[in-house]
Structure 1
Amino acid sequence: MSRTPHRLLAIAAGAAAALGVVASPAVASVNSADHLISHQQNASYSSNWSGYAKTGSGFTSATATWNVPSVSASSSATYSSAWVGIDGDGNSDLIQTGTESDYVNGRAEYSAWWEILPDYSVTISSVPVKAGDSITASVAKSSGSSWVISLKDNTTGKSWSSTKTYSGPGQSAEYVVEAPTVGGSQSSVAHFSPVTFSGLTVNGGNPGLVSSQKIILRQNGVNYATPSDPNSSGNGFTDSYTG
């Protein structure tokens, strides 16, 4: 995930107004190394992703439900995003939607957003969220290069859905907590409360997650976020701050 830079905010906000969304005000830039993952035998490591990824081919939809994590106070700005998406593991394409839990300017901030790389994330202003809310989100191919991105706050009942153009290869599906790129640099991950992902699907079925597919967020030799083993059904797990 890459946050929208100030110089593009007015342009993006104007273009998105008719869709009921606004561009995120945080400074950011797309980084081609945003989602590089070091795959190893029993787990994978990333400087900004923690969670699970299914890899292969023919991925056309992914769905997840999770709780918006709260974040603890920090001496400097820290960021975290929980999301579901298609592609991004092993390629530079990605379609995704999720929620943001950050600690900036001396306070916690929460929001919902969507993004298609290489463009920047766009805030879904019609669905305000807060810590603890239950969120269900999905990305799904409808036909050709048309994809539907959907997000619902189950706690408030507010929802958003929009059809977008996306032509990625469909080589992976992810359920992730991320430390996004902000101001052109890798952000520090926020101290977030445990995030439980449940009801996961891929192509309409159970993803059948296994522990070897887990991704651990590691920065400077420290594991800052680590997912649990999958639940017994293979369609859920809990991601925790471990820094």
Structure 2
Amino acid sequence: MLNNRALSAVLLAALACAAGTDTAHAACPSRAAGTADAVGTVGATGPAGTADTAGTTRTSSDARRASVPARSLSLLSHAVRQRHVPPGKTSGTMKSTNWAGYAVTGGKYTSVAANWIEPSVTCTSNGIVGFWVGLDGWGSTSVEQDGTGVDCSKGTPQQFAWWETYPANSVQVYNAPVSAGDRMSSSIVSQGHGRYVMVLTDWTARWTVRNPVSLPSGQNASAEIVAEAVSSGNDITTLPDFGAIGFTGATINGGSPQAAAAQPIDMTDSLNNVIATTTDADPDGDFIVNYTGTMASAPLRRAGQLFGRT
């Protein structure tokens, strides 16, 4: 199993692979014979020289096959519904009614990546929560994003992996297993001219998907690493209790969220009660999004608890 720093190295390698450049840290996913949109194995090397190689090769048709969870969703990850900066400040923690995490706009963004451990979700509501990285979606009409989600619409948590390039493709669910506790890595890279490569890996379930997509309307106007209360139709679903999620090794344009001047976002309900908070990102790109519900006294998970540090 990879540790956080090794995962960060693998993400940088995945970004290089998506851009068409091999690195010494990891082998790029291989292309299947006769397939333009190939999905391959990772072949990454774990800590202390131990091999942690994905054991599943999937074709592009498998990657695009929808399954039952979230199939009724027309849009999973979209623009922040409500945002503002505290009075008298030009920067600081933003607020949103459907996002918590980090986002940046005001420039051109060509890559974003992060690692996380899939949280254990308690279905306190019939809502859906998503965890993802992406380009666009904040103040733009396009999105290029992928990640994982948990659907509580049937009363029990149903994990799934997904991608989206709105408006060309609404939510597409990967035919791949995800479970609470799985170590995930995700990256999105813009190759220019409306071409993107998404790489999503589950190190625990031992699969990876390399998904080249085309979205001519992509603007590369923002980058995000987010936990989201997912919308169904015109409504934001009630946020299930995900406890906390620690994003590690997050990068935007190859640097940390701090270097990219990304800002933290707290999520509120419709009455402006904070229901998820975001900690400050450290120089390594590590931060935590805590579910708080409407209880201000809910315990916050700190870096030592989620990242295995004292």
TM-score between the two structures when normalised by the length of structure 1 = 0.84
CA distance in 2, matches of 1:213, 1:57: 14
- The aligned counterpart of 1:213 is 263
* Matches of 1:33 and 1:169, distance apart in 2: 14
More deviation, 77-86/176-185: 176-185
* Aligned-partner Cα distance in 1 for 2:206–2:258: 29
Q: Which moved more, 1:180-189 or 1:169-178?
A: 180-189
CA distances 1:190-227 after superposition (whole Å, capped 9, x unpaired): 10021000111112223326998111111122111111
1:48 partner amino acid = N
Quickly say closer, same or farther: Cα 1:229–1:211, change in 2 above 3 A. farther
Name 2:61's counterpart in structure 1: 18
Is structure 2 residue 140 aligned with structure 1 residue 95?
A: no
Aligned to 1:38: 83
Q: 2:226 aligns with which of 147, 152, 176?
A: 176
Partner of 1:8: none
Q: Displacement, 1:174? A: 0.3
Contact 2:110 2:253 survives alignment (8 Å)? yes
Partner of 2:246: 196
Residue 33 of structure 1 and its aligned partner are, at CA, apart by 7.3
**RMSD in angstroms over aligned alpha carbons?**
2.3
Aligned counterpart, 2:279: 228
Cα separation, partners in 2 of 1:131 and 1:115, compared to 1, 3 Å: same
Aligned match of 1:137 in 178, 186, 195? 186
Trace 1:71-150 onto structure 2 (pairs within 5 A): 71-74=121-124, 76-118=125-167, 119-125=169-175, 127-150=176-199
Structure 1 CA distance for aligned equivalents of residues 210 and 76 of structure 2 = 27
Pick from 56, 63, 80: which aligns with 2:113?
63
Whether the aligned pair in 2 keeps the contact of 1:71 and 1:102 (CA below 8 Å) is no
Structure having the higher strand fraction is: 1
Which piece of structure 1 moves more, 157-166 or 198-207? 198-207
Contact 2:257 2:281 in 1 (8 A): no
What runs of 5+ residues in structure 1 fail to find an aligned partner? 1-15
Which shifted more, 172-181 or 203-212?
A: 203-212
1:97-139 per-position Cα deviation (integer Å, ceiling 9, x unaligned):
01002323121110110011123111111x3110011100011
Does residue 155 in structure 1 map to residue 198 in structure 2?
A: no
What CA distance in whole angstroms lies between the structure 2 residues aligned with 1:44 and 1:151?
28
**2:128 match: secondary structure:** coil
Provide the rounded CA distance (Å) in 1 between the counterparts of 2:177 and 2:83. Answer: 35
Gaps of 5+ in 2: 1-58, 294-310
Matched AA of 2:139: G
Is 1:187–2:250 an aligned residue pair?
Answer: no
Match of 2:289? 239
Q: State the distance in 2 between where 1:32 and 1:101 align.
A: 14
Amino acid at match of 2:205: T
Deviation at 1:160, TM superposition (A): 0.5
Q: Which one-letter code corresponds to 1:124 in the other structure?
A: Y
- 1:202 and 1:212 mapped to 2: Cα distance? 9
| Aligned residue pairs, count | 225
- Could you report, residue by residue, the CA deviation over 1:67-102 in whole angstroms, capped at 9, with x for unpaired residues? 11111132x412110000001111121110010023
CA distance in 1, matches of 2:258, 2:222: 14
Write the distance in 2 (CA, Å) between the matches of 1:200 and 1:101.
21
3-state DSSP class of the match of 1:39? coil
Between structure 1 and structure 2, the one with the greater Rg is 2
Counterpart in 1 of 2:37?
none
Identify which of structures 1 and 2 has the higher relative contact order when contacts are C-alpha pairs closer than 8 Å and 6+ apart.
1
Specify whether residues 214 and 129 from structure 1 end up closer, same or farther in structure 2 by C-alpha distance, changes over 3 A only: same
Q: Which moved more, 1:78-87 or 1:30-39?
A: 30-39
Q: C-alpha separation between the residues in 1 aligned to 2:284 and 2:258?
A: 4
2:200 is aligned with what amino acid?
Answer: L
